[in-house]
Every structure is written in structure tokens, then in C-alpha cells.
Amino acid sequence: MLSIIIPSYNEEGNVENTANVVSEIMMENKIDYELVFVNDGSKDKTWEKLTQLTRSMDNIVAINFSRNFGKESAIFAGLKEAKGDACVLMDCDLQHPPKTIVEMYNIWKNNPDIDIVEAKKADRGKENPIYKCFSLLFYKLIRKASGLEMKDASDFKLLDRRVVDQLNEMPERLTFFRAMSNWVGYNTATVYFEVQERFDGESKWSVKSLIKYAINSITAFTSAPLQLVTIIGALMFICAVVLGIQTLVMKFMGHSATGFTTVILLLLFIGSMIMISLGIIGHYLAKIYEEIKQRPRYIVRDRLSSKKNGD
Ligand code: UDP
Ligand code: MG
């Protein structure tokens, strides 16, 4: 069986259509499936719609969070609930074309040694150029820091049961699905898809939430920024030695009153470096604090499923 996991946040205009479109395609291709909707604390009628769907349609599982925990948590909740031999993650807005699921499914089915089928963006769709720039920078940083090539990666993936079990066992609270599913290894095949227009509503990501997501994803996944602090410190030390020698020479030659500007500039520069470094360390400290609290990644309020599914 194939489990299709669909995180949904304020998607009242999408859930029903998505459920219909995906079910139809699955039935056309005679794929045994379940749709696992995770309602990520929506403020609109998404949960009401999902409740109705579990009554009117087969093969629907609906999970309701107690509040908005973010897409990452929704993905992991879906993975936990899914019962399929393989799981596909897709967005609720049909930007990930459901036809590609069939393509991924066939690759997985016909190649027993393929565990992950990754769908990459053939083009990035209609995206704001500034956003495009930042996402390129973001992936470059990730590649430099952790060696994972994730440009054009998306959360649209098919995972074999063994990968899902592995991911479910990973204990960290601060997750970055895209990188974690890469990190676990396994044999990966790639398909390409064209990013579609959003079916209804608009993107849930604000600039602020994207920046936050980017910073959290990098720091959840690599400690390279901490090493950066050491490197900057070493560079500053070299500068300090050079300037120190210069200052001493000046003093012995009797020109010690000059160089006031240098002092001010150095003070400002070193001061800001120290503050940035402390900030980076503080950020990691905060992450450690959050991890160590051992709070759950999400809280499930309700769990419903179509009658045919048994529970
Ligand atoms: N989403 C979620 N929780 C959030 C934000 C988004 O579950 O806090 C879901 C959303 O419902 C959608 C998917 O994540 O299914 C992608 O969101 P969106 O389409 O807004 O992002 P974009 O396509 O612009 O990257
Ligand atoms: Mg979208």
C-alpha cells in the first residue's frame, strides 16, 4: 500500500479537491493507497472539511494538531501515522503534480533496490526573483557546510518503509526533512516535475518565516557556523599580531600619537565580530536547550479515518 502524506495549513479551498484528484489517479492506476492529511492547526475550516472527507470518502486518515507546529512537524506526524509500504509526501495545493506520484510509484515498484524516489523541480515555477536568489544562496550554504547537494530538492518524495522507519527512529526535535531524508543514505532515484500553480489560496510562507526556516534548517543540520567563529577568531589573531608589531615599531620610532582611526576601526570591527560570534553560539545554545527539554515535536488533538480503514 502507498501512503500519501499531505500537510495542510489553512487549505480549506484545497483539501477536498486534492483528495479527489489524488484518489482518482490512484484508482485509475490501480494503486492501493491511503491519504494521510495532517491539519497543522489551521485557522480556517480545513479540519471541518477533513472531518467531512473521512465520512464521504474511503482511504482517508486525518490528523489534527492542537496548534500550528509547522510543516516539518506535520511531515513527521504523517510518517508516524502512515501504514503504507511506501510513503509519498506532497503539498496540499497541487503544486506537486499527482501524476508524478504514479511515476515515482512505478520506479519504486519495479526496482526493488530503490528506496527513495526524489522529485526534483525541473524549473522553479513562477517565483519571485529575490526569493530565487535567496534559495540559491541557502542551498549553496548547505552544500558548503554539510556536503549535501540539495538544489532543486523539494519535500516531494517517495520513501520506502525501511527509510520511513529509520526516520521515525531519529530522536531529534528540530528536524529538517529534506536534509534528513538525504542524510540517511539508501538508494535514490530521481524524477523531475514542473512546479504547478497553486490551486487555491496563497503561499503560507512570509519572508520572516522563510528566513527563520532557513536559519533553523542550517543550524538543525550542521555546526559549521560554530567553526566559522573559530576561523574568524584565528584571522583576527593574525591581524592582531601584525598590527601589534606595527604599533610597537611606531612606538620605538617615536610616532605613537598617530593611528587613532585604526584604534576606533579595530574596536568597532572586533566588537561586531564578537557579538556576531556570541549570537551564533547563543543560537546553538538555544537549540540545545530546546532539544534537551525533550518536548514532543507535535501534539495530536484528534485522529479520524474513513470507516473502511478499520480504526
Ligand atoms: N504547511 C503546513 N504548515 C505550515 C505551513 C505550510 O503544513 O505552517 C503546508 C501547506 O498546507 C502546504 C505545504 O505545507 O501543503 C506547502 O506550503 P505552501 O504551498 O504555502 O508553500 P510553497 O509552496 O509556497 O513553498
Ligand atoms: Mg505551495
261-297 pLDDT tens trace: 778 778 888 888 888 888 888 888 888 888 888 888 8
Q: Which three cell numbers stand for residue 241?
A: 599580531
CA of 255 to the centre of ligand 1 (A): 64
Q: Highest mean pLDDT: which of 71-80, 131-140, 251-260?
A: 71-80
CA of 242 to the centre of ligand 1 (A): 52
CA of 126 to the centre of ligand 1 (A): 16
Describe the strand order of the beta sheet including 300-305 as a list of residue ranges: 188-194, 116-123, 157-160, 86-89, 2-8, 33-39, 60-65, 300-305
Give this prediction's pTM. Answer: 0.76
Hey, what amino acid is at 167?
L
Burial call 171-192: b when 16+ CB within 10 Å, e when fewer: eebebbbbbbbbebeeeeeebe
Hey, what amino acid is at 111?
N
Q: How far is CA 291 from the centre of its chain?
A: 17
List alpha helices for 184-259, DSSP H: 207-221, 224-253
pLDDT score of 311 more than 60: no
Among the listed ranges 14-18, 26-30, 252-256, which one has the minimum average pLDDT value?
252-256
pLDDT score of 125 more than 70: no
Q: Which three cell numbers stand for residue 192?
A: 523531475
Q: Please enumerate in sequence order all residues whose Cβ is within 8 A of that of 174, keeping only pairs 6 or more positions apart, or say none.
A: 216, 220, 287, 290, 291
pLDDT score of 59 more than 50: yes
Choose which residue among 204, 209, 300 to substitute to test ligand 1 binding: the one with the highest number of ligand atoms within 8 A of its C-beta: 204
The DSSP symbol for 229 reads H
Residue with cell 518524495: 157
pLDDT score recorded for residue 310: 47
Residue nearest to atom 23 of ligand 1 (CA): 203
Pocket of ligand 1 (CB under 6 A): 7-9, 11, 40, 68, 70-71, 74, 91-93, 95, 203-205
Q: Which three cell numbers stand for residue 276?
A: 556576531
Contact 279, 215 (CB under 8 A): no
Choose which residue among 64, 91, 212 to substitute to test ligand 1 binding: the one with the highest number of ligand atoms within 8 A of its C-beta: 91
Helix (H, G, I), strand (E, B) or coil at 287: helix
- Region 88-116 average pLDDT: 90
Pairing of strands 33-39, 116-123: unpaired
